[in-house]
Structure 1
Amino acid sequence: ELAGFEVVGAVRQWGTIAVAADGRRRVLWGECRRTSQIEQLPDGLRGENVLAGFEYHGQPFSLTVRPAPRKTRIAVEPEYVLLVDPWRVRLEAKLSYSIRGGEVSQLKVGLPGWRLIEAGPDRLVTPEGIAIEEGAATIPLARPTSGEIELRISAERSVDAASGELSIPLPALEADAIRPASLTVLPAGNVELIPDETRLADLALRAGPPSMNLDESGRQPLDYRATGDRPVFAAALRVLKRQISVAVAGHVSLADGTASVRQKFSYTIRHEPAGRLTLNIPRKLTAPGRMLIVCDGVPLAPSAADRDPVGGDPLEAVPVGVALSEPRIGECELLLSYTVAVEEPSADRPAVVAIPLAMPADGDLTGNELIVKTLRNIDPRLLNEGWSESPGNGLQTGLRLTAAARRYSLDLDLHLRGGAAGGALVVDRAWTQTRFDAGWRQDRAVFRLATDLPEIEAVLPGGADVEQASVLVDGQPVKPRRMGENRLSIPLGERGSTRRATIELRCHYPAARPPRGAMDVKLPRLAGKTWMRRAYWQLVLPPNEHLISAPSGWTGEYVWKFNGTFWGREQSINQAELESWAGATADTPNFGRANRYLFSAIGEPSPTKVRTAGRTWIVLWSSAAALIAGLLLIHVPALRRPQVLFAGGVALLAAGLIAPRPALLAAQAAAIGLALALLAGLLQRGLVGTRAASAKKDFSSSRIDLGSSRIATPAQGEIPSTRPIQPIAPPAPENSER
């Protein structure tokens, strides 16, 4: 009863009543007498918690209410982000609560298998009061709260990457109403996730653009919408290794005895950030202060090289580490610049220079380009192998070069434009001996030449051990000067009138020889423009390896001879005669039973591409072909027709005329197959003869009974009769029934 006081003896009584209540209760109105509800209250009765206003018109009046506790209703809308790393999963949750009907002092969140890291914000939550029991976190609020609030939670759990599977239950919330949760899964750059639809629970992919922007690692987020109260994300997990690809673009400027080199290394780093990159830099550039390395405009200090830059080959590449200012993923560029002193050409003498180049040690090389420009009237000419000239070279564009692999030097022959063309180099006689054995290769090259140059340059094939190469000039050993990866400068003395000299060069190859089959054999040669009159190439193969096809452009210098067992090729010029002809030192090695082949060429030799095969395979394939052909002739009568045999003979004759040497080699190797085919023919003929004799004997017997017919042979002296013979019934078997 909310009736107020009464003034005793008053003629008339009236007044106003304001009813107020706190937020924890609600008011149910009861019966009222002599009262009415009003919209406006006097200023003195207005307040924040006033629910209604009434007027009474007399005494006694009555206004009854029934207070009831207000029920608190909690609604929540969750948003989850899962950050998946190779070793853990981090949860970032934003829980938007709507609290109606009353205030709450704490909230409960189920975190099964999670380790709570943080809950906030601090103005809303009392972090030190958080309690976790049985996987559920009770989070106390700073004060009893109602209305709209936003709670943020960070948690993590470990991942077993070795299992290859991921199963993540999302938090379990306690609320009267839970709106569908949104989930964004963001894998690390080196993590690949493949959702497992069979193990996903209460989750459906959300259509539309990604909810988060991709970072520089290119990670693609997965967006889901919860369809139930217990969502679980499941996927197959694979940890990816770091992948690095790099393209190199360089620029070389030649002027005033200096080569200025600028190189750009364009890296693409995938899956995992890299905080350090490694460059292979020629030893002569690793001294402090020799080069400048810049990344994003910030100079970087390279680490000390693994080896002393003073000793050893100055062009040998040594690894140098470059620590980045911060770990990088995606695109990254390094700029490297340095200068080296080079020799300048004169009017009567060109200059040969070797410019060292840095190359990346990390990742796959996707491109290697270089532009050479001269600021004076210098004409650069490419010397070393591995680089190739690109279209569009000219005075303005420069010498444009590309390489398919890492190249640590650029060897150039520099000439003055409009000056002398350089000394003459005429090779009267050249002899190269290439010897292959089971696992190695060795070359011996002799050049008998005439020149007015003080030194000449020799180019060795790729893979040759340049440091161990030996050189003789007119039979006397000299010390060559290394000019690049595979180039040697051989001194001949002071320049003057034309002189004659004999250069003898020996080198071996540490790596294994190329396998049998098609081989492109590079030979030692002299650099520059050389006029060669006559050359011989001698190829030495192991006893069990034979030459199938000779190189085009070369003429075979051998004859076929019968050695008592088979026909073979024998050099028309022996080893001693070749050494005497070329002016080489007498050194005839013991070749044993090795197969030797000699070729000659007039002028500059053509590419030496040959094909070899093992003796076992030659015999096997040739004999197999002969045996198959013989068996077909034996068992397929149609192939023994004269027309077919004539066509086969013509085909064999044509093959012998077109390729006589391989045909003769194959014919000898097919001897086993031919013998087996002949043996099979004799066996077949013997078996056929035996069966024919047996059939004839049976046919000449005295009587042959064929069912109910009889053929009788007349006795000696008896005249055969033309009377039909009466059929004789076969004897009935005993115990037979009619």
Structure 2
Amino acid sequence: SVLLEANQRIEPLQGEFSEITVRIPVGMELIKLEGTRYREHRIESQDQSLVRVLFDTDNRTAASPIDLKWLLRNRIPPDQSKIQIGGFEVEKGRIQSGIVVVRVTGAYRVQRLETQDRNVVRESLAGLDRMTNPSVPGASDPSNIVGVYRVLEQPFQLVLELKKIDAYVSAEQPQYVAHFSGNSLELEATYVLQVARGTVDNFVLDWPEWKKAGWSIDGCHVRRISDREDENSDLQYDITLDSSEKDAVEVQPAEPVSGHIQIRLVAHRPIESGVQGAQIQFPELRNASSDKGVLVATLADNLDFDSKPAGTTTIRPLDPPRISSELLAEKQDHRRMAYQLNNFRSGLNIRTTVKPPSLSVESTTVVRSSERGLNLEQSLSYSISYQRFSQLMVWVPTSWIESCEYRLSTGEELRPVLTQTTEAGYQQVRLPLEKTRSGNFQLQLRAQIDESELSRSSELQILLARPSEERLSRSRLQTQNLGGIDFSVDDDLWTLESGSDNVPFWTSPTVASQVRARVKLFPDTPTSGIVVSRAFIQTTVDGVGQEYHAGTFLLRGVRGKIRITLPEGSELARTRVRNTEISAASIPDLKNTYEVSLPSLIGAGSEGEMVMECDFTHKRQFGTGFFHSVDSKLVSFGAGESWREVVWELILPPDENLFRSPKQLNPLYRWKLNGPLFTRVNSSDTESLLKWVGAVSQDRPNLNPEGWNKYVMSRFGSVPAVQFVTIRRHLIIAVGAGCSLFFTVLLMNFPVMRHVLVFWVVGTLIATLSLWYPEPVILFLQPALIGFALGLLSSIGQLWWRRRSKPQIEGKTSAIFWRSSIAAPSRERATAPPSSVQPSTSLRGSAPVGHSGLQS
């Protein structure tokens, strides 16, 4: 349609008037008319284009102008492309002029047909600023103005041709969300497209035989989406749905759409479970088709789902993507699967099967020590398939009822409801859930056994919670941080096993609701049973035999006192807890044993966990040989101590190298090329290891000298006494390079040593030694290569000198001058005197071959 908005000013040249007659454009419908002194208007019955406008005569002013505002509309037939603009001619008007502004808001291109115009000239857009009386409608917003024309006189005629712009539509891959229940399938199809230019009047969804398949459309929505947050950014279009065709669905918005558009179609169809299967096809947007799509399928709790591509369709499983879907939000708690669809016009063959519900529960109980006795933390791991639970029913020991805490692994705390059902030593508890649950989740229960009960008898019977469904498939019991308590299981239903971290635990394949255990307290040694979770030992050895050992320990099970036993011959330097230095009292009856009392402000952390630093020194007499031995041993924290992971760092002077690491420790360094030589590089530096063990401060004396050699090693579990063997650097160079140089001299002076068998024997010997002693072989091999290179250079120099010492060349040819003795014939030797001397003979090579002169 064409909407014509006109502002008209009429000025009387002389006299007064109470009415005027205006001719409006032919075919236009007058929608609204208003103005100054306007009273009413009448359309002539004989000529619908003539409008008689009446004015109020009571408030008239002589020679005052009259402003009228016109609003007209004309509907253009689809087959018509020309628009003729004219009119607003005032009868008996002497001077009539004006301005016509053409504004396009739809997807049209406007072209002027100048040959059919009359009394109209084109005006520049800048000319609108000069047209203040009357004001031009919409001149303040020139964004959609495509033409400005000046009317010279009446009657005038402006003819424009409209050409619709073809829309350019690009679309993302469609997203389909399908929910399968026992007897129906719900489908939500979402299409996101961009109309870059022009507008779209309707959308067509190709859906082969959708009515025959039993689909029913529940709704369809078309809206414009935007990233802006203003209220007009999202626009919902009124639509008309045409579902008369059997293979397509047409969506007709009430007005042309453009920009970023989202189309959402919701439908459902019946489906039977357990039969051979059914084929489902997905609606495809014809305006911007895509060969790829995403399908997210959600299933009812009791269904199993199987899908196979049909025809040319191919599918690939995906991780469920994040999709904005009302159906997916409604079914968010259900099982879901995602697929990438390719060439999905043929659809999928699907089959659903109703499955019986299944439930299995595994129990894991952790026993920890506390200040009041033992803490029991039991986790019931539920695995629920093909059903949902809105509540949990659990048999809880009556001794737990008052102090037991119930929560899920997600942190949700559950409020117990006691039922009237009881049995020997147990009370049934109902735990309502905030939302229904299926799949895998954990129920955590916490209870306490007082120390008074532990001290009554060495035998302890521990009751455990169990699910009311009696589906407990496996039970597991393990201990952690049992400071001052010796705990063991004495029950035929439980079997002792060992995990990957060498931590013992007990398992029961049956429904074990109780455990018979033996418990022993250590009242006289309060520090017994300490667990060293992590330990970082730094040993610094100087060149005169002084050793400084700095240990950082992450301890668990500490109750208030720590007893430390140092290796024999050691002296305690300092002890610190949480960056605060604490004095240690020596125990007279126990050699090298100290006791540290923890102040209340420092005390142990959660579950008796704390970080302690203990430094001690040791003096030993180094020998004068090239090899040195460093014997080291860990400190002891009393009876029943348990070590988990130990990292040891050995720090040596620059001229001292580690010959080989102890067999009890695993190296945490690797050989790396550093310039021309290979050196050992640690995988972790000192700073990161201190953070790993939990040290608060990192200021340790005499432990980080510049240029010193550092070697990091580790071990799981307790470390027995270890021996570090070191060697002086000049010995490495002397032995390695000397042996290699000696071998090179033998090769150059004795040809028999250059036999291939000799090289094979030497190579085999080196390879064999590297299997048992890799570090010493690498240490000696590097200077050996240098010695071998020096020997080769020496041999090359000797050969070069021998060539220079040979007789010089004479003449231009390659002949050589020399003197030699030539024996006389046998007859002459027989007659010659015995004392006669044979004459010398010279052979000059400068003579031609075959013509050598023989002189005597």
The verdict on a shared fold, with TM-score over 0.5 as the criterion, is no
TM-score category, normalised to shorter length: 0.3 to 0.5
Give the TM-score of the pair, scaled to structure 1: 0.41
Q: TM-score, normalised by structure 2?
A: 0.36
